[in-house]
Structure 1
């Protein structure tokens, strides 16, 4: 009996996921640094999921603001902007897309291991993991350092605490997560299972400690949520009492979170079995699938899922592109982007003479 291998990026989905995405009126954007892709996941006609992957080497943090999108890669940050007008005539079948993200700027940061990113009042913020600081993406330097934890003494590229997550409030960073509060090169590895912290950016105080690999802090409706990756738990943090409540527990290394209405979309990754950092985690035998979980926040119940069968094993970030049911994207590897001309008042596809 002849068997056929699955096509790339094959996935199984819960029966309600197409309808859920359609009803929310938008598209999921995920990054997978292991596969080097930024992937748009859209619902078509309420019944079908369609994916659009684009190559971005070691794609990590995603930032979304109005019509802009930024993606952190191994050596660069690329900023893109959506053109609804050009989307109408893009592709083999004009009218297929309602948005088209086009590259607008590339910042050559070098390999500084950027994690979470977000636009704020001062520009594009990024968690600079290698230098243990919060930074602004800058056209003059590799980055502009804006904040470091109180326990970090030097601005050097040695990943002292594995600063990774950033929660924004009123246009500026409010809380960050780190895998440790150590001040030596990769010192966080010694207590990777329970050395994680949440830090108040303004006061620099550690408000919660002893966390199992915290990632993706987010403020929703005035409450701070985060993902405890090592235990696969979604938590809500009491920032005053220094405690947290477990909202739900899943099977997978949790990282990447966004919210639309009452629904949270969480990224789940497989564990790297050959990594000494991951193989002893409590969820070692449970984190066997990679994908997206849809959680109904008021009840904490999982109401939908996407599970990758191949190609994707690790997810870093998850964002929601509002009011775009089926957008497309052009990276700089595709020559088409050079023909896309957008002004303040109009847009054109140039014609090669």
Structure 2
């Protein structure tokens, strides 16, 4: 099989994204695959401003050469100390740790380039460093709500599913490598809490569960994914005494999908679903809203998890953290989540191309 190319967008230029790319490039992206010092079975090309990357490498004392490629040009095999880059120019000068709305358009431009490269076959997956939603909105993109929704619209699909995966077990670290000990997908993503209940519809839940089932089969090699679903209300509504969304929407939707042959179970009270007894026979959990599921997952594996967008016509993973402006430029940021995101994107790209 051809070694996949991963387009790594460098994210908010004032944050830690650029230096995370440089830190991994310094070691030739070794360790992002099977272990420290092991050459990865994929190639990486950063997408961003070469001058920014060169300056940040110098500031941090990283001996990394930024190798500028033509947009879409195939990067060489990973080599310690070399970071191939598809260039996109900053819109305004950047100072580490200081946001500038003028560069909001720059962040979106690097995303657009990576999407185009994946759709045109120049890359087999994209991995995104963190961006800052607020500064993009202040830069003129009033409707921007995040990577997930932006990529949905850029790819012209109706629905995507946000899923985080970690190689850490909820009840303790696993023995040996395990790329996905816990997977948590979301029925809704970046919504104010007061809007969540209205967003939980039979049609929406059905679409999300179908995408989750299909992409677990396609990208993770699961022949019959086992899905467990959280209730929306405390105690999963307690038979309608604490809310009727379970009785009127969630349970009937699960029953219809189960009748079609999907392995979907629930709704379960969220406060007890995330326990070993329930998770041991589940391939993924569907939470009803952002913090219901992701607080648990990040407790289990923060820094060892990746964000995955399902339902796209391309592979996309990301880190499990934000721009960390307070850490930027200090050389103390942890590249662990980016390692997981790169490794997972490569595995998904390989699995997705198998017959």
Higher relative contact order (CA 8 A, sep 6+): 2
TM-score by length of 1: 0.25
